[in-house]
Amino acid sequence: MTLHKDFQDKVKKYAELTIKVGVNVQADQPLWISAPLGTEDFVRIVVKEAYLAGARNVHVQWYDEEIMRTHYELAPEDVFYEYPSWLAAAHEWVVDVKGAFLQIEANDPDLLKGIEPDRILNYEKASGDALDRFYEAIEKDEISWSIVAIPSEKWADKVFPELPQPDRVPSLWERIFTSVRIDQPDPISAWKSHIQTLSDKAAQLNSLCLQSLHYSDRGTDLSIELHEDHIWLTGASKTPLGTDFIANMPTEEVYTVPVRTGVNGTVTSTKPLAYNGNVIEGFTLTFVDGKITDVSAEEGEEILKKLIDTDEGAAYLGEVALVPHQSPISNSGVLFFNTLFDENASNHLAIGSSYPTCIKDGNILSDEEREEKGLNESVVHEDFMIGSESMDIDGICRDGRKIPIFRNGNWAI
């Protein structure tokens, strides 16, 4: 792709947005960046923007997808039960120094297709256990962190197979630019306005004092109980030091936590789930008293079952997120095969760990107190999309009122 001036300007704005709004790097703050090979040009611009913003130092951890696949194909079986202690210590260092963490994605959705599912899931559990303190800091917003994405050839090939090869990566770039508001005259101001809109919607939901939600759609009849102390949040967060950041760019959701044992019924996915280099499609989950008791999928059923069996908490929900069908990413009509984007085009749920920030005083609760309030714990946190243009959601208030929250896939409040 020719790096004409308009494109270069957009890339620079994207890098600036990532640093100033996404992770919001502060003066004298360390930044850790995790990125795949193939993103070097963008990462270099991001690093420059970080130093211009006052970063103390910037560390980049590179990984190579081809080497990753070779590792999963040929490494000894027992390796997948291990996680390097030095790498776990490095992640904990970010927490200790109150640094910022940025993940840049450009992943091939089919990278690990055909790999033995046990290898993937065993390593997922090993890494989750080893990085428990780091993930705890992420879940509690103790550090600023963000995930952004840029195109790769294999990802673009998956998203736009109908386009001529030379047009695929540029088309994905443009879709990403639009989704993160780089097409706006002042992207930073556009983001502030957008976050305010989401915050107003979260405040409206919080004022309703909901006891539960009921979802109705083709293949979905699901009830989800909410704790009396639940809080609806947006993608905008704040560290204990008062630093604002946006964990996912793009973001279109407001979200909260369900009661662990308060989920009953059946839910059917409406978009594929790209999970660890595999695509899982057309799946239905049945819940009884919070736990997934039945699983079926048109594609990827084995790996979905392995995911749900990762640990006890992986069979329960940890997040409930609302996204209207009439939203920028959904309106684009593009299936990204990347949860960062697809979850922001659809109502979604997440199996696995919950965010304690979604409960009043959740950050200061002990593990026992979180369990008492029905918060789920797991090394897994995996979003899956359930929304459509025909989904209805009713909210049951604590005073018994029944309020339409969504009608025909969009806000009814």
Closest CA to 356 of 343, 344, 370: 370
pLDDT tens for 32-88 read 999 999 999 999 999 999 999 999 999 999 999 999 999 999 999 999 999 999 999
Main-chain phi, psi angles of 317, to 5 degrees:
-85, 145
Instruction: Quote the pLDDT of residue 226.
Output: 97
Closest CA to 91 of 63, 42, 38, 127: 127
CB neighbour class for 385 (10 Å; exposed up to 12, middle 13-18, buried from 19)? buried
Residues 145-177, buried b or exposed e (16+ Cβ, 10 A)?
bbbbbbbbebbbbbbbeeeeeeebbbbbbbbbb
Mean pLDDT calculated for residue range 220-242? 96
Q: Is the peptide bond before 250 cis (omega within 30 degrees of 0)?
A: yes
CB atoms near residue 238 (< 10 Å): 13
Q: Helix 117-130 to helix 132-139 angle, to the nearest 10 degrees?
A: 80
For the chain, how big is the Rg over CA atoms in Å? 20
Instruction: Say which residues have a Cβ less than 8 Å from residue 134's Cβ, sequence separation at least 6.
Output: 88, 91, 92, 94, 95
Instruction: Quote the pLDDT of residue 362.
Output: 85
pLDDT tens for 187-207 read 999 999 999 999 999 999 999
CA distances from 293 to 182, 261, 296, 297, 321 (A): 43, 13, 11, 14, 22
Query: 230 pairs with which residues across the strands?
Result: 359
Average pLDDT, the chain: 95
Percent of the chain with pLDDT over 70: 99
1 — pLDDT class (breaks 50, 70, 90)? very low
Which residue has better confidence, 356 or 2?
356
Yes or no: say if 104 and 35 are a contact pair by the CB < 8 Å rule. yes
Q: Strands 144-149 and 100-105: what pairing? A: parallel
CA distances from 139 to 120, 130, 357 (A): 23, 15, 7
Instruction: Quote the pLDDT of residue 2.
Output: 44
153 — pLDDT class (breaks 50, 70, 90)? very high
The whole-angstrom separation of Cα 107 and Cα 360 is 36
Instruction: Quote the pLDDT of residue 373.
Output: 86
Q: Helix 117-130 to helix 301-308 angle, to the nearest 10 degrees?
A: 30
Instruction: Quote the pLDDT of residue 372.
Output: 85
91 — pLDDT class (breaks 50, 70, 90)? very high
Yes or no: say if 332 and 352 are a contact pair by the CB < 8 Å rule. no
